[in-house]
Amino acid sequence: MNILLVEDNDETAEFISRGLTEAGESVTREANANTALITAVSSDFDVIIFDRMLPGMDGLDAVRLLRESNIVAPIIILTAVSGIDDRVAGLEAGADDYLVKPFAFSELYARLKALSRRQPLNLVDTQLRVGDLVLERTTQTVTRQGEVLDLLPREYRILEYLMQNEGQVVTRTMLLEKIWGYSFDPKTSLVQTHLSRLRAKVDKPFETDLITTVRGSGYVISSA
Amino acid sequence: MSSRLRKSLLNASIFRCTLLISGGALMVALLAIWAYAYVPWSNAERTAKTAIDAEYQLIVSTLDAQGLNNLIATLDYEDGPVWNDEQVFAIRDSNDFVIRVLDDEEDTLAGFPNLEADFGWGHDFVWLHEFDTVFRVFVRRAELSDDVSVTVAKIIDQDVIEVVEHAQTVSIGLIVFWIPTALILAVSLSRYNYRRLGETAKVADRVGHARLDLRAPTEKDDEYARFNLIINEMLDRNEVLARNLESVSIGVAHDLRTPISNLGGRLQLIERDLDNPDAIMKHVRASQDHMDALLRTLEALLRLGDVEAGKRKAGFSPVNLSDLATELVESLEPIFADADKTLTVDIAPNLSVIGDGDLLTQMLINLLENVLDHGRDGAQAWLHIKARGERISIIVGDDGPGIPTSRTEQVFERFFRVDSSRNTPGNGLGLSLVKAISELHGGGVELVKSNPGAEFEIMLPISL
């Protein structure tokens, strides 16, 4: 991925770009909004990471400007301000995701991956397939090795989301936001419990596990 | 201090108001008295004027017809043309005119010499030195010829004069009595006002200097006392807020200290175990857990602050609470099952509130999480949602150990925990948030049963 990182805090920028570089991504860093806008327009990025508070310009205004200049690359906003209203404001400005500091690098990376993949195709695919697991969107049925799995609606949605992001880590908070629509983090093992129920249906009766837990970050589905 | 209230008396609004009102009332009273005297006076004046004019015409025609000497002669009754006091005194009873004819030297040709008046119409006094008395008269003086003029006067009726004099006496008495009374009234009213306000001011001043427990006096049932009641309610709330803040600071210090010192400990362990990557990994993971706990507490505090400040109210919209709760229960059921607890649910359909779905979900989750965290194994828990008149009643309860009676007052305080050793999960902010969210939605929460078991009831205004 070709990533533009706009972040004025050197330590945070170092933390992010080191992680991204180690993951084999290419990072361009800008420390202020004005130069970032020029850089964003002059070359092609897969994802843009934008800090909410930048010297000289509010990150939201910058995002708005980017969208006005027809930059379509997904944008994720980083912020030290948490609160739903800010989140909504960020999304309304044209950002695609919103992450509150401090965050684990794996959380950011999982979201970046999800964003960069979110491009057209598999959203409109009528069928998702991971190994011998097949999810039919038209009939909302899931089969593995031809055997129909009896999933609850929520389990179906979790599985669908995992399969859309095949091979990529989906974090607990991503699931909370996308599946439950919660902006807060319940203490209870809500996600864990539902995931273990799902795995009991999807993996347990079969020889190979498709869904695996990535300790400290989330879940991934893959056939490998 | 109360002395700060006082400036000059003239600046006191009560003082000025009292004087203004008293002045106004005095004016009205004087006006009424004047009107009482004016009616008989003006009637008498009108009658007198007509009569005097007729008399004047008579004199003029007599002068024209018979000449000045004859005119003078007609005014000579017995003792010559110039009248003495005795003659005039007699006129009062005869309802006749007092007349004086004078030449251009102001010498009396005929009539009463003491009758002095300017040309034109008016009223005047006539002195009768001999009788040591004075008559009030309506009078007109006019030219008869180039060098002769005549003054015709009619003695005013004693009744009319009495009315006028009476009115004058009453007016003067009123003024003499009224002004000092009004002043005394104004001064004492403003002093009373200062004193009563001073009591409140003194309390306000001392509360401002950290005596949070002081309250303004409310013994009397007047507007000052009622005002003080309102002030006291504010002081009550402020005291609660201030005490909350105090307990929050202590709570923050306490609750953040543990994960922070654990983190510090892990860092030291990492330093010691530098040659053992497995051990380092273990320490790092443990550190991350401590960090998560720290962030979670901070997050909860910030959220609580946001909710209490009413920040989220702008985004309120109708929320189907029944659907929201049903879906939530569906999500939580497996967790209850895994924890070997039973959740019984009774939710009336289609109950809506105006609110924030996200916050309402969190409110319910927090209550149910309490049950998960604190209820014993095999515990029974219940969630009932039903309409009660204009409100929605949400009851969440369990048959767990409950809350000691001595501490039920504190359950909604920040960082409150039944187990004060802080060994049980949670940060003690869950119920504070429940309370804040229910209040943000125009409702409230109460602990309805506490020992044994615990049952909370949330009331929210229903939206139709």
With CB atoms and an 8 Å threshold, state whether B331 touches A185: no
Q: What average pLDDT score do residues B154-165 get? A: 88
Number of H helices, E strands in chain B: 8, 12
B31-59 pLDDT, tens digit each: 999 999 899 899 999 999 999 999 999 98
Distance CA B280, CA B282 (A): 5
Q: Which of A62, A42, A175, A203 is nearest to A111 (CA)?
A: A175
What is the C-alpha to C-alpha distance for residues B60 and B145, in angstroms, rounded to an integer? Answer: 9
Q: Under an 8 A CB cutoff, do A184 and B358 touch?
A: yes
Question: Is B317's Cβ below 8 Å from some Cβ in A?
Answer: no
A5 vs A109: CA distance, rounded Å: 13
H or E element in which residue A60 lies: helix A59-68
Cβ pair A222, A130 in contact under 8 A: yes
Nearest CA in chain B to A188: B369
Q: What is the pLDDT of residues A77-115, one digit of tens each?
A: 988 766 656 777 788 888 888 888 888 888 899 999 888
Q: How far apart are CA B39 and CA B55, in angstroms?
A: 24
d(CA A141, CA B31): 99
> Residue A195: pLDDT band by 50, 70, 90 thresholds?
very high
Residues of B in contact with A180 (CB under 8 A): 331
The reply to whether residue B331 touches residue A215, judged by beta carbons under 8 angstroms, is no
* Cα(B101)–Cα(A6) distance, integer angstroms: 118
Q: Which amino acid is at B314?
A: A
Residue given tokens 């985004």 in the structure block = B315
Q: What is the largest CA-CA distance in chain A?
A: 59
- Count CA atoms closer than 13 A to B307's CA, side-chain side: 27
Using CB atoms, which residue from B295, B338, B425 is nearest to A193? B338
Which residue in B296, B356, B425 is closest to A185 by CB distance? Answer: B296
Token digits of residue A72: 């379509």
Mean pLDDT of chain A: 87
Q: Where is pLDDT greater, at A122 or B285?
A: B285
In this complex, do B358 and A84 lie within 8 Å of one another by their Cβ atoms?
yes
Task: Choose the closest CB to B358 out of A104, A183, A189.
Answer: A183
**A43 pLDDT tier (thresholds 50, 70, 90):** confident
Residues of B in contact with A186 (CB under 8 A): 362, 365, 369
Q: Say what the pLDDT of residue B1 is.
A: 44
Whether A56 and chain B come into contact, CB under 8 Å, resolves to no
Asked if A143 is an interface residue toward chain B (Cβ–Cβ < 8 A), one would say no
Measure the CA–CA gap between B73 and B111, rounded to whole angstroms: 10
User: CA-to-CA distance for B64 and B104, rounded, in angstroms?
Assistant: 19
Q: What is the Cα Rg of chain B in Å?
A: 49
Interchain contact A214–B (C-beta under 8 A) = no
Coil, helix or strand at residue B403:
coil
* Residue B422 or B301, more confident: B301
Query: Three-class SS string for chain A?
Result: CEEEEECCCHHHHHHHHHHHHHCCCEEEEECCHHHHHHHHHHCCCCEEEEECEECCEEHHHHHHHHHHCCCCCCEEEEECCCCHHHHHHHHHHCCCEEEECCCCHHHHHHHHHHHHHCCCHHHHCCEEEECCEEEECCCCEEEECCEEECCCHHHHHHHHHHHHCCCCCEEHHHHHHHHHCCCCCCCCCHHHHHHHHHHHHHCCCCCCCCEEEECCCEEEECCC
C-alpha distance from B299 to closest chain A C-alpha (Å): 8
* Token pair belonging to B84: 């003495």
Q: How close A210 gets to chain B, by Cα (Å)? A: 22
Structure tokens at A182: 């919660």
Chain A environment of B311 (Cβ under 8 Å): 83, 85
Check if the beta carbon of residue A126 is closer than 8 Å to that of residue A139. no
pLDDT in tens, B192-245: 988 889 889 999 999 888 888 889 988 888 999 999 999 999 998 888 888 777
| Nearest to B280, CA basis, from B264, B268, B262 | B268
Alpha-carbon distance of B123 to B139, in angstroms, equals: 5
Q: Which residues pair with A47 in a beta bridge?
A: A3
B329, B331, B361: best to mutate for the A interface, most A CBs within 10 A: B331
B358 chain-A contacts, CB cut-off 8 A: 84, 181-184
Here the ipTM equals: 0.76
User: Which residue reads 């007599």 in tokens?
Assistant: B62
User: Which among B288, B330, B361 is the nearest to A216, CB-wise?
Assistant: B288
Inter-chain CB proximity A194 and B296 less than 8 Å = no
Length of chain A equals: 224
Q: Is A200 on the interface with B (CB under 8 A)?
A: no
How many contacts does A have with B, using Cβ atoms within 8 A? 63
Beta bridge partners of B121: B140
pLDDT at A123 over 60: no
Of the listed ranges A53-67, B168-182, B249-263, B425-439, the least confidently predicted one is B249-263
Report whether B458 contacts B394 (CB < 8 A): yes
Q: Tell me which residue in A181, A184, A194 faces B334 most closely, judged by beta carbons.
A: A194
Strand partners, A79: A100
Reported as a single tens digit per residue, the pLDDT across B86-111 is: 888 888 777 788 899 988 888 888 88
For chain B, say whether A190 makes contact (Cβ under 8 Å).
yes
Where would I find the H helices in B273-320? 277-308
Q: How far is A193 from chain B (nearest CA, A)?
A: 6
Which H or E element spans position B204? helix B158-208
